[in-house]
Structure 1
């Protein structure tokens, strides 16, 4: 008798468990903050590319100068130009590596607040709906989703004031 009561209680408790799901990337894509972050990121990237372009143009100019020296130029002068070109090429490579790191840092800096806001809204909706777990369907980690799982994307968009 006690066994049946315990089994019935566990079964009833299991039926009250609610799960939700959302595509976090789809949510972030419609957030106005993401568009603002993307615009700022693109401007930052353009600035870095502009500097790189100037460096490459300077390299091409120095290369042309070396080619135009002709046979009458001394070996000392030719070697000085070659050394200058090698140093400039090294600076360009260093700049490219540094710029790539700066781009990654800037992207994280700009997107972290957007994801934080999205996750905060998801947490609020999950609590309002009494959900135990919310799975990110965009990550493809969830291998099965029941029809009883609640898609909270519309509720989170509403909470964030997104149409």
Structure 2
């Protein structure tokens, strides 16, 4: 019984190999594009960059105003302290207040970094979706099995043959 099962498995495997060997071999098409360059060429990306720059400048300006106000308070503190206008207990209280304000500014700097990153994601998400959709449409319309992003360093070390699909995607996106 066991011998019959082994023979059956061998025959099934042999028939499978013969069937696979007789199927017509189709060469798969591969494409590549540099998504970083493509994104830079999109007017939407340039507009998003300008919006992000303006937003960041507003946040930085507020931070600079906070730092300037702290600097003025520090100068006044040192002046009052050096002139002997502050009792030791009052000097200590003002130092604690100034340190708290310094920490508040440091916290604000971290918030700025987070807010700018979040705004960048919000602005780029629809653009990235649009580019992804265009890439998928080009792949389907032109029969590409895969499209690689050549902007990623060392992502593809060797590929036998692939087409640069950037002109097709640019045409789909309406850019020259």
Q: Taking structure 2 as the reference length, what is the TM-score of the superposition? A: 0.83
Summarize deviations over 1:63-122 as a string: whole Å, max 9, x none. 001111122422233223212211110110111111111111111111111111111101
Secondary structure in structure 1 of the residue aligned to 2:96: helix
Secondary structure in structure 2 of the residue aligned to 1:71: coil
- The runs of 5 or more residues in structure 1 that have no matched partner are none
The alignment status of 1:58 with 2:31, answered yes or no, reads: no
RMSD after superposition:
1.7
The alignment status of 1:93 with 2:106, answered yes or no, reads: yes
The alignment status of 1:9 with 2:20, answered yes or no, reads: no
Aligned residues: 158
One of 139, 150, 157 as aligned partner of 1:143: 157
CA contact under 8 A between 1:62 and 1:81: conserved in structure 2? no
Summarize deviations over 1:27-53 as a string: whole Å, max 9, x none. 111011100110010011001100100
Q: Output the CA distance in 1 between the equivalents of 2:29 and 2:162.
A: 7
Q: Output the CA distance in 2 between the equivalents of 1:25 and 1:139.
A: 9
Aligned to 1:75: 88
Aligned to 1:47: 58
One of 109, 112, 123 as aligned partner of 1:110: 123
Q: Could you list the structure 1 runs, at least 4 aligned residues long, displaced by more than 3 angstroms after superposition.
A: 2-6
Aligned to 2:48: 37
Secondary structure in structure 2 of the residue aligned to 1:138: coil
Q: Whose Rg is larger?
A: 2
Q: Output the CA distance in 2 between the equivalents of 1:101 and 1:116.
A: 22
Q: Output the CA distance in 2 between the equivalents of 1:5 and 1:98.
A: 62
Q: Taking structure 1 as the reference length, what is the TM-score of the superposition? A: 0.90
